[in-house]
Amino acid sequence: MHRSNTSDTPGVVVQPDALLPLLGTDEKVVAFFAWVADLDATNPADHELEGGVRLASGARLEQFARAGSGDAFCFVGEGGEERPVVYVSLDGEAGPVALGLLELLRLCLVAPWWRDAPGRTAAELQAVADEYRADMPDLDQRRDVAARALGLDPAGLPSETEALARLVELSLGPIAQACLVIGYEGSPFDPLFSAPAGPDR
């Protein structure tokens, strides 16, 4: 369940537990993640899960960021940024989205619209991606600036297809059971993903 915070790109090394502070304080990083990818880690005091929301396993569920809707990004268990990340939606859906903060940030860099993936066909996801780019013509430039501020080489990022396929893999694989989220009424949340989906790129 652990993943190194070392970049896959030769010569680029991300220091352990160095990403979360940047996510909340670095202007270039915040400009992309909070305003483009809807992942806001700028005010930790605002990050508090709804009462009764917990992991079925009894492991720790630690919120570290939120979306504008109030949905939560949470670490699972004890440790640092290498911990699995669970996304908890106010709509009653939850599930693992990355094994470690680095993997989550890579996902958000290449597919900031990933929340629109559940239930969508490849063509529909492509339309979402195209809409993002139409609204934000400099999206790739913003992505590259944020990636470099994190110590990542943009050329080493996954493709949109790879990133979305990884979401489905995590949601349907064994890690999903270990990260099962229970609501305040005691019922498990619905999974985020139930079928493969990804843009044709």
Domain ranges of the chain: 19-182
pLDDT at position 57? 94
pLDDT, tens digit, for every residue of 16-57?
688 999 999 999 999 999 999 999 999 877 777 877 899 999
What pTM was estimated for this model as a whole?
Answer: 0.87
Q: Which residues contact 139 (CB under 8 A, 6 or more apart)?
A: 36, 112, 132, 133
Q: What is the mean pLDDT of residues 64-89?
A: 94
- Determine contact, residues 117/72, Cβ cutoff 8 Å: no
User: What whole-number distance in Å separates Cα of residue 29 and Cα of residue 8?
Assistant: 20
Q: Give the chain's mean pLDDT.
A: 86
Q: What is the mean pLDDT of residues 163-188?
A: 89
